[in-house]
Chains A and B, each alone.
Chain A
Amino acid sequence: MTRLPIFSRSTEQALAGWPPPVLDPAGPFASSITVLSWVLFAIGGVILGLVLAALWVALAGPERLRSRLGGTRVIWLAGIALPVVVLTALLIYGLTLTSMLRTPTQPSDIRVRVTGEMWWWRVAYLDQTGRVAMTDANEIHIPVGRTVTVELQSSDVIHSFWVPRLSGKIDMVPGRRNVLRMQADAPGVYAGQCAEYCGGAHALMGFMVVAHRPDDYARLMAGRRRPAPVAGGEAARGAQLFQSNGCGACHRVAGTAANGLAGPDLSHVGSRRTLGAGILPNNRGTMIGWIGDPQSLKPGNRMPAYSMLPGRDLTAIAAYLETLR
């Protein structure tokens, strides 16, 4: 039986998640929206207080106050003048901020192209000329303190790219290319999720943005450009099984014969923090489970089950994938 989580939780656990990501920004784009949010909450709170007070007076207040409230003057003041003033100010603030957030890509930006797929993320790192320099899936690595331009597109239905602590969201619309700018000021892992309903397993379409210190980032990228070390032992058998079972028809592993494009690029799958687009921690057990029965973990996804393989074969394949870092 499932245990009701809330009854077993301490206050501290219950308050986990506060402040929520939208109010806990990790970069300039998100924090400008956070400031706006607090301004909005404050104004909203004051106006709500005003309305509640007026309602209280209208229903149960002293006669003198009630008679002052009971005329068209209050409509002109509180219903027309006040909103017009407040809304005009907010509109100017909002529009200024909008155009700031939407400033076009700068030459100094890091460029990443993310393509929404049902239900995972195709990631391509672009060089300054816009050519694909490296491909990956479901995880985006960025250096801290640099603005990243994310080019968003979709290969099937509409998705939406959202990392609340780094930026707002922008949709990925088939036939169009949208651009979103984000930046992280501190190293860390930032959760992202598809925000636009895209059918089936929309709920299970997460990803990670990992921000590194500049030198770590440079090291990581350089390491990835080197060919993967040749696997030995069990992993070597896994590599063979990977080829013989046709995994390469859908998945690409850089530097090998596997060059399928239908599924996520696995060239660096061993270093990923999660599997199945953000839904499982990445370890040998979950990898075996995923290959053997992906449909029960993420119903409707395109990966066929390899439950016909004996357990030791699955283990070998998982061991091989672990070496792809």
Chain B
Amino acid sequence: MRSETGFDPALYDRFPTREERPAGEMKELERIWCAPKGWQLLTVVNNNYIGAFYVGAAFLFFLLAGVLALVMRVQLAWPLNGILPQETYNQFFTMHGTVMMFLFAVPAVEALGVLLLPQMLAARDLPFPRLSAYAFWAYLIGGLAFFASIFVGLAPDGGWFMYPPYTSTSFSPGINADFWLLGIGFIEISAIAGAIEIIVGVLRTRAPGMSLEKMPIFAWAMLVFAAMIIIGFPAVILGTLLLELERALNWPFFDPTRGGDPLLWQHLFWFFGHPEVYIIFLPAAGLVTMMASALAKTAVVGYRLIVLALVSTGFISFGVWAHHMFTTGMPTLTVGFFSAASMAVSVPAGIQVFSWIATLASGRPRMNTPTLFLVGGIVIFVMGGLTGVMVALVPFDYQAHDSYFIVAHLHYVLIGGMVFPLFAAFYNWTPMMSRRPLSEAMGKWVFWLMFAGMHLTFLPMHVTGLMGMPRRVYTYLPDRDWETTNLLSTIGAGILALGICLFLIDLARNFRFSADENAGNVYGGGTLEWLPTGLYSTRSIPVVRSRDPLWHDPALPEDVEQGRYFLPNSATGLRETIITSPIRAEPEYLQIMPGPSPWPVAAALFTAGFFLLLTVQAYWTGVVSGIIAILCLLRWLWDTDRPVREPQVDIGAGIMAPTYVTGPRSHGWWAMMVLLTVIGMIFLMACFSYLYLYGVHPRLWIAPPDAAWLIPILLAYGAGFGLAWLGRRLLRRDKTRLWTPGVLLMAGGGGSILAFAIDFLSWRGHGLSPDASGQGATVYAFLSLQGLLVAILFIMTCYMAARNSRGLINRPADNSYDLVYLFAAYTAAQGLVSALLTRLFPGSLL
């Protein structure tokens, strides 16, 4: 048999083991993984807790945004209604869309990932528990503060896609728009932190033997989801950054009178915004696949086709963004391309829908509440998909675009594609984390109310749109015949809300959180999350031999619970999980995991403080808060990356695994690579903006400074990278003085700072002002991005110097050192590319 890492798969045959495990192991596991009590619970990092908090918070935002929608529906119930004045209504619809997309949909699926993935993969926890905790707290604090802006009339009112120039200071002078830009920019950080966690978690912490081929579909979906966040979110992060720079410093990225272009924002926003829909949909679709299989008690039909569908959706979705811009007057050829791609993306959706149907048909589905929500969701989603194909056709979109037809379409897609599957998931997975399952009888009422209410709300909206009613209007006139359908929609919204209220009652009556004394496998699922669990996840980590291990080996739960598989104890007396290889999931090493800590929550609090104080223009307090946040972050890192005494431990059945691994095999290296991909994508989007603005207004551009400046910049960045590289090499040699690597790293950081300074000063001296033109704005945007990287690198090298002085750098290789080295290499590379681009293109053409 082939092997990925040199691990002999024959070793799997040692499991399940025969001999009794020593008594007291279980107690020891419970002690190590026990959650802090009382107020200390704020320091909890375990995925069972963070996942549950996360789902709860996302659901809270769903309710809040839903209430906004309900009030808007009352306002639109009849013409010239006066419940919501114009400005308030404009804030309401902006907040409804923004909160639903950024504070509910993405976090909700990410939360399900945090909650379910370790269980499905039989990992003890996600690989970076403190990062999950940080992402959650940042999201909760930032989200609540952002939402509170509506109570004081400071909520943004530019619509959830915030098109400039309406959102520029000329037309939106208040800080409302800044709440959106900084608030959402901040929450994107937490989404990215979650995505890094999920990518590394899925690829490196699967149970031994769970090759990609045997991975639960949800894990596949989350992998594609996280990859799409990594590729897509940078576009909107850059967009918000540019718009905030335009607002704060008057740099004209989107101002057509000074060489900017409002359509640049639309490109950046929708390059994120359309994949966003699939980012929301794919995980939910993954859940539907798994539930269809579990509820019908049969294997997924067309597993490989589904995987293919998930991955191809991910790819195609990045080629469809401009279908939101068909009416902006793009060239016919461009429009044709995006129309074709938009239609193509419905093929993978078709694959999934018919795979669900085939799976249901091949098994014995029971008509319980999860099945109802599942089937209802499929019906709604198919209807939204069909109208989606309609609006992908350009001529039809000329009529439907920005009308209530679109409002109907997008709600069908999102409610059918995400909300109903989510409710199905609530019912299906509650027994995994609650002492009692939710009520079947009440669940059916919840379903029928929601299903009927949903159709009554949104089906008439198609007609309202065809009648000519544009979206985002706070009222309408009586002579347009829009009354009937609008009133029907309002009544429907009330019924939908009634269903959700009933769900809340069910939740209050039956949901009792418990990780270890849960109701168990009431629906008879076949995947690993239905093994008996505690906060440590499963007692021992099983060898996975099929896609539905519990169905294939009915003895598995008992064997796992008796400790007859991998890691039946804590090998080092600390929290730990097995890191496996990315393709075949062969055990590679034992990761030591951090436990509860107050620092992630403190760092989240002060990061939120930084962004919010900037928004309300309390700059100095903001900066202080930011510095405290960085210190909290460094403090939390300080305890990490400390090898334990035993370099090799028994991870079960006498199989030995190392406890400290560095270099490209380590999970830290993987996470840094993902992070650098994010930063690289932000940079790529900046390059796009630069070239785009040149294409729109070339005559405002001036020749760059003398190309000779490139020589010192190149040399200094080269030195920056070279010194860091040399330090890493010297670490391997025993004879080197102890402090040399740290000093070299700092010197390398100095090289990059010098290069950046030369780059910056040469532009300053050249007389290009950032507010002069699109060129000035984008060149200084490059410099700002680079300045940020250099500043982070500086903090990192200081941190490493501090570790060095305390003797905390391990030899012959050190994870922290590796990561800073990677960051230094990236910083030098990006600095070099941006200097070359801005000086050589279109330099020679001018």
Contact A193 B165, beta carbon cutoff 8 Å:
no
Q: Decide yes or no whether B159 CB sits under 8 A from chain A.
A: yes
Contacts of B475 in A (CB 8 A): 203-204
Q: How distant is B546 from chain A, measured CB to nearest CB, in Å?
A: 18
- Given A44-B386, A78-B350: A195 and B403 within 8 A (CB)? yes
Contacts of B360 in A (CB 8 A): 55, 58-59
CA distance A191 to B467 in the complex (A): 11
Contact B357 A170, beta carbon cutoff 8 Å:
no
Interface residues on B, range: 35 or more
Q: How distant is A26 from chain B, measured CB to nearest CB, in Å?
A: 13
CA distance A167 to B396 in the complex (A): 10
Chain B contacts with A in 463-522, Cβ cutoff 8 A: 463, 465-468, 470-477, 480-484, 487
Q: Decide yes or no whether B39 CB sits under 8 A from chain A.
A: no
Contact A51 B398, beta carbon cutoff 8 Å:
no
Contacts of B482 in A (CB 8 A): 17
- Given A6-B484, A51-B382, A191-B468: A58 and B263 within 8 A (CB)? no
Contact B343 A87, beta carbon cutoff 8 Å:
yes
User: In this complex, what residue of A is CB-closest to B79?
Assistant: A5
Number of residues on chain A facing chain B (CB within 8 A): 91
Q: Decide yes or no whether B171 CB sits under 8 A from chain A.
A: yes
Q: Decide yes or no whether A71 CB sits under 8 A from chain B.
A: yes
- Given A74-B354, A196-B402, A203-B476: A33 and B332 within 8 A (CB)? no
CA distance A61 to B365 in the complex (A): 12
CA distance A33 to B466 in the complex (A): 12
Contacts of B5 in A (CB 8 A): none
CA distance A80 to B358 in the complex (A): 14
Segment among B64-72, B81-89, B579-587 that sits at the interface with chain A: B81-89
User: In this complex, what residue of A is CB-closest to B81?
Assistant: A2
- Given A79-B354, A102-B332: A202 and B398 within 8 A (CB)? no
CA distance A75 to B308 in the complex (A): 13
Contacts of B621 in A (CB 8 A): none
Contact A21 B327, beta carbon cutoff 8 Å:
no
Chain B contacts with A in 163-189, Cβ cutoff 8 A: 163, 165-166, 170-172
Contact B350 A101, beta carbon cutoff 8 Å:
no
Bitwise, A154-179 to B at CB < 8 A (1) or not (0) is 00111010101001111101111011
Q: How distant is B471 from chain A, measured CB to nearest CB, in Å?
A: 7
Q: How distant is B80 from chain A, measured CB to nearest CB, in Å?
A: 9
Q: Decide yes or no whether A82 CB sits under 8 A from chain B.
A: yes
Q: How distant is B83 from chain A, measured CB to nearest CB, in Å?
A: 10
User: In this complex, what residue of B is CB-closest to A198?
Assistant: B166
Contacts of B81 in A (CB 8 A): 2
Q: How distant is B25 from chain A, measured CB to nearest CB, in Å?
A: 44
Q: Decide yes or no whether A230 CB sits under 8 A from chain B.
A: no
User: In this complex, what residue of A is CB-closest to B382?
Assistant: A51
Contact B357 A173, beta carbon cutoff 8 Å:
no
**Interface residue from B78, B480, B483 paired with A191 (Cβ < 8 Å):** B480
Q: Decide yes or no whether A23 CB sits under 8 A from chain B.
A: yes
Contacts of B367 in A (CB 8 A): 59
**Interface residue from B327, B336, B346 paired with A171 (Cβ < 8 Å):** B327
Segment among A89-97, A210-218, A236-244, A253-261 that sits at the interface with chain B: A89-97
Q: How distant is A107 from chain B, measured CB to nearest CB, in Å?
A: 21
Q: Decide yes or no whether A52 CB sits under 8 A from chain B.
A: yes
Q: How distant is B137 from chain A, measured CB to nearest CB, in Å?
A: 34
CA distance A75 to B348 in the complex (A): 10
Contact A48 B165, beta carbon cutoff 8 Å:
no
Contact B78 A5, beta carbon cutoff 8 Å:
yes
User: In this complex, what residue of A is CB-closest to B463?
Assistant: A20
Segment among B240-248, B387-395, B640-648 that sits at the interface with chain A: B387-395
Q: How distant is A216 from chain B, measured CB to nearest CB, in Å?
A: 24
Q: How distant is B639 from chain A, measured CB to nearest CB, in Å?
A: 50
Q: How distant is B166 from chain A, measured CB to nearest CB, in Å?
A: 4
CA distance A278 to B468 in the complex (A): 14
- Given A5-B487, A17-B467: A44 and B389 within 8 A (CB)? yes
CA distance A178 to B329 in the complex (A): 6
Q: How distant is A80 from chain B, measured CB to nearest CB, in Å?
A: 6
Contacts of B452 in A (CB 8 A): none
Contacts of B172 in A (CB 8 A): 199
Contact A79 B351, beta carbon cutoff 8 Å:
yes
Chain B contacts with A in 325-372, Cβ cutoff 8 A: 327-329, 332, 335-336, 339-340, 343-344, 346-347, 350-355, 357-363, 365, 367
Chain A contacts with B in 12-39, Cβ cutoff 8 A: 14, 16-17, 20-23, 30, 32-33, 36-37
Q: Decide yes or no whether B752 CB sits under 8 A from chain A.
A: no
Q: Decide yes or no whether B157 CB sits under 8 A from chain A.
A: yes
Contact B262 A75, beta carbon cutoff 8 Å:
no
- Given A16-B481, A173-B328: A80 and B350 within 8 A (CB)? yes
Contacts of A194 in B (CB 8 A): 470
Contact A83 B350, beta carbon cutoff 8 Å:
yes
CA distance A198 to B463 in the complex (A): 23
Contacts of A179 in B (CB 8 A): 329
CA distance A90 to B395 in the complex (A): 11
- Given A6-B484, A40-B393, A98-B332: A170 and B327 within 8 A (CB)? yes
Contact A90 B343, beta carbon cutoff 8 Å:
yes
**Interface residue from A61, A70, A162 paired with B301 (Cβ < 8 Å):** A70
Contact B483 A47, beta carbon cutoff 8 Å:
no
User: In this complex, what residue of B is CB-closest to A90?
Assistant: B393
Q: How distant is A189 from chain B, measured CB to nearest CB, in Å?
A: 11
CA distance A305 to B302 in the complex (A): 68
CA distance A154 to B353 in the complex (A): 44
Contact A70 B350, beta carbon cutoff 8 Å:
no
Q: Decide yes or no whether A146 CB sits under 8 A from chain B.
A: no
Contact A162 B262, beta carbon cutoff 8 Å:
no
Contact A59 B375, beta carbon cutoff 8 Å:
yes
9 A-B residue pairs with CB within 8 Å: A4-B78, A33-B395, A54-B354, A70-B358, A83-B347, A98-B339, A169-B401, A175-B262, A202-B472
**Additional pairs, 8, CB under 8 Å, beyond known A55-B378, A58-B357, A199-B90:** A48-B382, A79-B350, A87-B347, A97-B395, A170-B327, A174-B262, A176-B256, A195-B470
Chain B residues proximal to chain A, CB less than 8 Å: 78-79, 81, 85-87, 90, 157-159, 163, 165-166, 170-172, 256-257, 261-263, 298, 301-302, 305, 327-329, 332, 335-336, 339-340, 343-344, 346-347, 350-355, 357-363, 365, 367, 375, 378-379, 382-383, 386-387, 389-390, 392-403, 463, 465-468, 470-477, 480-484, 487
Chain A residues proximal to chain B, CB less than 8 Å: 2, 4-6, 9, 14, 16-17, 20-23, 30, 32-33, 36-37, 40-41, 44, 47-48, 51-52, 54-55, 57-59, 61, 66-67, 69-72, 74-75, 78-80, 82-84, 87, 90-91, 93-95, 97-99, 101-102, 118, 156-158, 160, 162, 164, 167-171, 173-176, 178-179, 191, 193-204, 206, 278-279, 299-300
Shortest 3 CB-CB contacts between residues of A and residues of B: A168-B398, A175-B256, A17-B481
